[in-house]
Amino acid sequence: MSPRATLLAAVLLVASLAVVAATFRFGGTLAFTLALAVPATEAWRGPFVQPVAREEIAFAAAGRTLVADLYRPARPRRATLLVHGLSTFGRRQPDLARFARLLAAEGQLVLVPDFPGLIAFRLGGREVEEIGAALDHLATLGAPTPARPDPAGPLAIAGFSFGAGPALLAAAERPGVRLVASFGGYADLRHVIAFITTGAHAYGERRYVQRQEEYNRWKLLGLLVGFVEDTRDRAALDALSTRKLANPSEDTGALETGLGVEGRSVLALVRNGSEAEVAPLLTRLSPRTQHALERLSPLARLGRIRARLLIAHGAGDDSIPFTESLRVAEAAGTRAVILETFHHTGPTPFLALLLPRARDASRLARLADALLRFGD
């Protein structure tokens, strides 16, 4: 064999070995990514992943009992806690449940609790304690071995949307967590309020304006209701929020007429559409409400997180602007992944925006690899 032929054969052998190595190293990641982006392909993975059993469990957290789904693979190697956003479905939100099942099939013990406040569209701070208790409980699950005395293996937490803020706050108090992920989360609730009410958001020198859904205003009202001190105003705003979420066009004038000063201040903020009015309206909120917005914004606590941070956001998110994830990343000294073809709850139709989707596929694969292999 000539030297040139020998060299060519060696190059082909190395290339083949590289392909095989890449297949073993990234094959699971690519299959996971494909199943995540295109749900119809999930069934194809069946013969190549672990079977998953889902069981309902309960544990004590912050003075009450939380119910959760535990997704258990045959041979768990690591464990992840998932924190849902504002959703009446809670732990059974279809996309979240599918994500948990996909993770578990890759060898992760996955805990998905119901967080009552988030199910009721409330964010009061108790969620942070509940998430901490869920992490502590998850760490006790699984079976210890001589090589791995920690029963559950390396721990991760992933928060989604309005659940990402409490997840980040809880992670700041848990130095043993190895990976923290924020998907569609926020840095400062006051920026989110400005976005929901006006459609405007900014980062650095760039300003963006997106069309806002009226429905999001009433989600915001539900979020703020728990901070209202006046009992009558709180009850009236709670009823108003419930009705508007069911039917945004319903006439709630009778409820609004009876509101006091505090209730009117909250409703004025929710109904506002002017960027210039956001700051003055925020200052008219009660001290308790202003303090709560500060306390539940993770921006100032991000420096305390010692785990690796994964931050991702859909550019088309109409509930929380992607610029909030850019702020989270900047404060944490890392980078955010902005997915061009994703909105608040997932990707746009598969055949739309093919070039941006190809770029997002690469980004999603990198995120998936980090999620699947943390602690290695």
The tens digit of pLDDT for each residue in 202-255 reads 999 999 998 888 889 999 999 999 999 999 999 999 999 999 999 988 999 999
Between CA 234 and CA 296 the distance in angstroms is 19
User: How much is the average pLDDT of 194-209?
Assistant: 95
Query: Please, what's the largest Cα pairwise distance for the chain?
Result: 94
- The share of the chain scoring above pLDDT 70, in percent, equals 86
Rg (CA), the chain: 23
Provide the residue ranges of all domains of the chain, joining segments of one domain with +: 47-188+297-373, 197-202+212-294
What are the residues facing 313 on neighbouring strands?
Answer: 338
Write down the pLDDT at residue 356. 57
What are the residues facing 80 on neighbouring strands?
Answer: 110, 156
How many other CB atoms are there within 10 angstroms of residue 41's CB atom? Answer: 13
With a CB cutoff of 8 Å and minimum separation 6, the contacts of 220 are 193, 196, 197, 270
Chain centre distance of CA 15: 39
Between CA 37 and CA 348 the distance in angstroms is 10
- Kindly report, residue by residue over 333-347, the tens digit of the pLDDT: 999 999 887 765 555
Between CA 343 and CA 172 the distance in angstroms is 27
Tell me: pLDDT of 17 over 50.
no
Q: Is residue 73 within 8 Å of 100, Cβ to Cβ?
A: no
Q: Is residue 375 within 8 Å of 153, Cβ to Cβ?
A: yes
Tell me: pLDDT of 15 over 50.
no
Tell me: pLDDT of 148 over 60.
no
Structurally, what CATH architecture does the domain formed by 47-188+297-373 represent? 3-Layer(aba) Sandwich (3.40)
- Kindly report, residue by residue over 273-306, the tens digit of the pLDDT: 999 999 999 999 999 999 999 999 999 999 999 9
